[in-house]
Amino acid sequence: MNKIKVVHYINQFFAQIGGEEMAHVPPEWRDGPVGPGLALGAAFGEEAQIIGTVICGDSYFNENVEQALDTILEMVRQHQPDLLIAGPAFNAGRYGVACGTVAKAAQDKLGVKAVTGMYVENPGADMFAQDVYIISTRNSAAGMRDAVSRMVPLAKKLVKGETIGASAQEGYLPRGVRVNLFEKERGSKRAVDMLVKKLKDQPFETEYPMPNFDRVAPQPAVQNINQAKVALVTSGGIVPFGNPDRIESSNASRYGRYDIDGLMDLEEGKWATAHGGYDPSYANQDADRVLPVDVMRELEMEGKIGSLFHFTYSTVGNGTAVKSSKAFAEDFVKELIQENVQAVILTST
């Protein structure tokens, strides 16, 4: 088999042209490997050859993206490589953005396989992890050997068209792609194994990492709740019978706004749940079990609250993306503010 032809992209620093003071240099082609390309070449062994290196100053690239990219792509195209390796950029932000941009363009515009490497918090990682394979590296060039030892096997697989394993196995940053696979052990066994490790304070790897949640400071207490207008909101999927807004039973893409003006009670056959993540029979029998309109109405009549706001907002909180829920509330809270609602009770199942 012919050797895999590789072009390597690096910045002015790794090319030993200079540091920040030389970050303005425009793209340049050099035959053969330069700087970290030597380590890459050694790791590829006989299977591949670094035919050339594109060097560009980080500032030049980021300040003249289109021009720089055109020039770089032309250099790459002329040499018709099978593979482009960019970086690794570790935690260097501009370098990371350049590596991601060049790798993506080589892939999309020239059909050349591409791999880069970055530290997870490099802004380039967020920007390009979905589009290109980015090996997760340490945050400084001290991690070069590690990075190379993972970039090279992944790059070889890509060029040969072999199956690429999961991000955790191959060491690239998760691309947000789900793949069906059969595990050796069933779910219950894996869960118990994880729990046992957790109890023993041993390291374990979750199969479903939680997204990062931000924090909001608490609002001051309501001064006179007996005079306040209170609204009911739920993620429990309570909707008028028949689900007129067709809110999805999981991963909801919308919420509903329903008039409860004068309603004493959410009656069976008139209200039900659209939620697909719990047994709906109790909520369908009596939706007040999820959205307590009956009790709120009583408290309103007894003067324990000022009034119950005449709209309720409902969605299905079942595998629904944080981003979607956030957008729903950002939308309906405008109406709550406009209508002088002073407090909200939000119920979840």
Partner 1 sequence: MVKEIERAGIPVVHICTVTPISLTVGANRIVPAVAIPHPLGNPKLSRGEEKTLRRKIVQTALKALSTEVSDQTIFEVD
Binding site for partner 1 (CB under 8 A): 210, 213-223, 225, 228, 230, 233, 235-236, 278-283, 285-286, 288-292, 294-296, 298-299, 304-305, 315, 325-326, 328-330, 333-334, 336-337, 341-349
CB 290 within 8 A of CB 234: yes
Q: How far is the CB of 231 from partner 1 (least distance, A)?
A: 8
Given the complex with partner 1, which of 142 and 221 has the nearer CB atom?
A: 221
Spell out the residues 6+ positions from residue 283 whose beta carbon is closer than 8 angstroms to its own: 236, 237, 238, 272, 273, 275, 289, 290
CB 68 within 8 A of CB 55: no
User: Exposure string (b/e) for 111-122, b if CB count within 10 Å is 16 or more?
Assistant: ebbbbbbbbeeb
Tell me the DSSP string of 267-289: -BTTEEE--SSS-THHHHH-GGG
Q: How far is the CB of 194 from partner 1 (least distance, A)?
A: 16
Given the complex with partner 1, which of 119 and 255 has the nearer CB atom?
A: 255
Q: How far is the CB of 118 from partner 1 (least distance, A)?
A: 28
* Cα 260 to chain centroid, rounded: 37
CB 98 within 8 A of CB 62: yes
Tell me the DSSP string of 64-120: SHHHHHHHHHHHHHHH--SEEEE---TT-HHHHHHHHHHHHHHHHHH--EEEEEE-T
Given the complex with partner 1, which of 120 and 333 has the nearer CB atom?
A: 333
**240 phi/psi in degrees, rounded to 5:** -55, 145
Q: How far is the CB of 330 from partner 1 (least distance, A)?
A: 5
DSSP letter (8 states) at residue 223: S
Query: CA-based diameter of the chain, in Å?
Result: 86
Given the complex with partner 1, which of 6 and 308 has the nearer CB atom?
A: 308
Copy the structure tokens of residue 118. Answer: 């970055």
Q: How far is the CB of 294 from partner 1 (least distance, A)?
A: 7
Q: How far is the CB of 242 from partner 1 (least distance, A)?
A: 21
What is the C-alpha separation between 218 and 235, in angstroms, rounded? 20
Given the complex with partner 1, which of 146 and 265 has the nearer CB atom?
A: 265
Q: How far is the CB of 285 from partner 1 (least distance, A)?
A: 7
Given the complex with partner 1, which of 192 and 282 has the nearer CB atom?
A: 282
Given the complex with partner 1, which of 184 and 215 has the nearer CB atom?
A: 215
Given the complex with partner 1, which of 183 and 214 has the nearer CB atom?
A: 214
Q: How far is the CB of 210 from partner 1 (least distance, A)?
A: 7
* Sheet of strand 83-86: strand arrangement: 28-31, 48-56, 4-11, 83-86, 113-118, 133-136
